[in-house]
Amino acid sequence: MTTLAPPLNSPSRSSATVGLVTPGKFAIWLFLATEVMFFTGLIGSYIVFRAGSSPRAYSNLYPPATDLSRTRDTVGIVIEDAGPDPDKVAFELVDAHVVGGAEEAKRLMDTAPHGVVGGLTNDKAADLVHKIEVASGHARIEPLKTQKWPLPYDDLTNPLAINLTAANTFVLICSSVTMALALAAIRQGKRLKSSMYLLATIVIGSLFVGVQVYEYNSLMFVHHYPVGISPTGHFRPDVSLFASCFFTMTGFHGAHVTAGVIALILIFLRSLVLGGYSAQNHAPIEMVGLYWHFVDLVWIILFTIVYLI
């Protein structure tokens, strides 16, 4: 069949193709090389954008990419607690004309403990903090702080949930090991065991996708974030360059994982059929495995540079 593989009848062919080259394996590795280039386009863009972003592109008090040249002396307040009666605090904000209207004030109450109102003078901020205390809420004065890029753990500019995603990273790593074990099992001819490991990989992989979907949902629809993250309160692809990069990179990664889960489901079903795979014949498991580990590898890099740096 191939140039480098031993002839069909030789005993050493009887099992895995690890270390040997078949057209399928060559093609999958080549495909992975093209994937490397594709993700280079996305991740490389992220790297240069992040490094080249203006030092005043993000701030704790204004939406991303606001022109801050005339707002340098302003401060803001952070409403840390809306108190037992948020409506009262909201009323104070409307009364002081620092928000667009009752609607916006209400939304700000949801954002606590990170309800940011920017663009205030020092006096006005102090006055407002006082009024909020009287309305039995709690707020603090926040000086304007600009930065090049949303930093991890900075709740006023970065909405990403690091703890959840760190756990999710571990989930994906687990799915990689079950995948490797599925291949190891079929190589020893343990068909049932291999199928079970495949099933485990599907379940764990789906769990990863599920957590991603959950995270997307809370970022885009459920949560209200402070203005430094998004002017609308929702973190969506259009609100900042950071958001664009985040959604595109993790979105394409998520699509790859989803495609991997579908491929896994197909080979899992086939593995249940008698004679589906055997110690001699299991190339699809090996190939889907390679793809799956690659996707895991990309996630390791994405998690590090998008969430942690």
Partner 1 sequence: MNHAPDAVAGVDHDEHRSPYLRAWAALAVLTLVEYFYASIFRDVLGVLVIGLVFWAAVKAGLVGWFFMHLNQERAWVYLLIGPACLLAVLLVLAVYPDVAMQPVDGEAPNAAQALKTGS
Partner 2 sequence: MTSQVETSSSAPVGHGQGDDHIHPAPRNMLSRYVFSSDHKVIGVQFLSSGLIFFVIGGLLAMALRWQLAWPWKPMPILSRMLWSDPSLGYQMPPEFYAKLFTMHGTIMIFFVIIPILNGGFGNFLIPLMIGARDMAFPRLNMVSYWFMPPAMVFISYSFLVEGGAPEAGWTSYPPLTIARWATPGSLNGQTFWLLAVLCAGISSLLGAINYLTTILMLRAPGMTMMRMPMTVWGLFVTAILQAFALPVLTSALVMQTLDRVAGTNFFSPTGLAVANAPAVVGGGGPILFQHLFWFYSHPAVYVMILPGMGMVSDIIATFSRKPLFGYKPMVYAIGGIAGLGFIVWGHHMFQSGMNPAVGATFMLSTMMIALPSAIKVFNWLGTMWGGRIQFTTAMLNAVAFVAMFVIGGLSGIFMAASPVDMHIHDTYFIVAHLHYVLFGGSMFAIFAAVQYWFPKIFGRMMNEPLGKLHFFLTFITFNCTFYLMHIVGMHGHLRRIADPTVYESLRNSGVTNMNQFMTYSAFALGAAQILFAMNFFWSLAFGPRAAANPWHANTLEWETTSPPAYYNFARIPVVHHAPYEYSVPGLEVDFLPQTKPLPPAAMLHPVNS
Contacts to partner 2 by CB under 8 A: 1-5, 21-23, 26-27, 30-31, 33-42, 45, 48-49, 52-54, 57, 63-65, 67, 236-241, 243-245, 247-248, 252
Pull the structure tokens for residue 33. 């090389």
In the complex with partner 2, the residue whose CB is nearer, 38 or 170, is: 38
Could you give the C-alpha distances from 214 to 210, 217, 222, in angstroms and in order?
Answer: 6, 5, 10
CB burial readout 250-279, b (16+ within 10 A) else e: beebbebbbebbebbeebbeebeeeebbbb
Pull the structure tokens for residue 53. 């972003």
51 binds, among partner 1, partner 2, none (CB under 5 to 8 A by kind): partner 1
d(CA 109, CA 126): 19
Greatest Cα pair distance, the chain, in angstroms, is 88
Pull the structure tokens for residue 34. 């093209």
9 binds, among partner 2, partner 1, none (CB under 5 to 8 A by kind): none
In the complex with partner 2, the residue whose CB is nearer, 54 or 121, is: 54
Pull the structure tokens for residue 286. 């090996």
192 binds partner 1 (CB under 8 A): no
126 binds, among partner 2, partner 1, none (CB under 5 to 8 A by kind): none
221 binds, among partner 1, partner 2, none (CB under 5 to 8 A by kind): none
Contact 295, 158 (CB under 8 A): no
1 binds, among partner 2, partner 1, none (CB under 5 to 8 A by kind): partner 2
221 binds partner 1 (CB under 8 A): no
Could you give the 3-state DSSP secondary structure of residue 240? coil
Rounded (10°) angle between helices 162-187 and 241-272: 30
Q: What is the SS3 string spanning 142-203?
A: EECCEECCCCCCCCCCCCCCHHHHHHHHHHHHHHHHHHHHHHHHHHCCCHHHHHHHHHHHHH
269 binds, among partner 2, partner 1, none (CB under 5 to 8 A by kind): none
304 binds, among partner 1, partner 2, none (CB under 5 to 8 A by kind): partner 1
30 binds partner 1 (CB under 8 A): yes
19 binds partner 1 (CB under 8 A): yes
Name the DSSP letter for residue 281: -
User: Hey, CA dihedral for 258, 260, 261, 263, is it positive or negative?
Assistant: positive
Single out the segment in contact with partner 1 by CB under 8 A; choices: 46-54, 106-114, 232-240, 265-273: 46-54
Query: Which positions touch partner 1 (CB under 8 A)?
Result: 14-16, 18-19, 21, 26, 29-30, 32-34, 36-37, 40, 44, 47-49, 51-52, 54-56, 69, 151-153, 162, 166, 169-170, 173-174, 176-177, 179-181, 184, 187-188, 279, 289-290, 293-294, 296-297, 300-301, 303-305, 308-309
